[in-house]
């Protein structure tokens, strides 16, 4: 199986050139992973918040976040609280997933945000939250 992508750009996003096809398909096939992707589309959440919002045990939240991180579908960020406590939070880091069948098997294309340096934005910067 291969994962190939074009070099097209749209709306400040780029297409990922290295996609682990099996990891992406496994994550998208999992109910808890899909629930996590849905809730992390709008805002980054901690494992505790994911557990609450997705109605899954904490241990499951951590396992699914690891699966999603390995598939490069979510990214870890650090939430810096004004109290000095820091928490790891997770956010969906893609816009679109396109799955197609080619001569060499499945092909996956992820449309992802540009890096901070390329986009000139603060996307991915640590979040600051009040306790």
Residue ranges of domains in the chain: 13-114
Please give the pLDDT value at position 17.
56
Prediction pTM value? 0.72
Q: Is 46 exposed, middle or buried (0-12, 13-18, 19+ CB in 10 A)?
A: middle
Each residue's pLDDT, cut to its tens digit, for the chain (131 residues) gives 444 333 333 444 444 457 789 999 999 999 999 999 999 998 999 999 999 999 999 999 999 999 999 999 999 999 888 888 889 999 999 988 888 898 888 888 888 776 544 444 444 444 544 44
String of DSSP letters for 79-110 = EEETTS-EEEEEEE--SEEEEEEETTEEEEEE
Please give the pLDDT value at position 20.
87
Q: Residues 101, 96, 92, 43: what is their CA dihedral angle, to the nearest 10 degrees?
A: -150
CATH 2.30.110.10 assigned to 13-114:
no
Please give the pLDDT value at position 122.
43
Please give the pLDDT value at position 82.
84
Compute CA distances 80 → 28, 37, 46, 120, 125, whole Å: 30, 22, 12, 22, 10
């Amino acid at each position: 199986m291969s994962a190939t992508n074009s070099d097209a750009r749209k709306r400040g996003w780029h297409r990922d050139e290295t996609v682990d096809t099996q990891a992406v398909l496994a994550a998208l096939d999992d109910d808890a992973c899909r629930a996590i992707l849905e809730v992390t589309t709008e805002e980054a959440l901690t494992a505790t918040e994911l557990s609450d919002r997705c109605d899954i045990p904490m241990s499951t939240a951590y396992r699914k976040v690891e699966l999603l991180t390995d598939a490069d579908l979510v990214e870890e960020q650090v939430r810096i609280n004004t109290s000095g406590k820091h928490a790891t939070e997770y956010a969906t880091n893609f816009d679109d997933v396109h799955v197609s069948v080619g001569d060499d098997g499945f092909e996956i294309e992820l449309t992802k945000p540009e890096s901070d340096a390329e986009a000139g934005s603060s996307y991915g910067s640590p979040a600051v939250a009040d306790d």
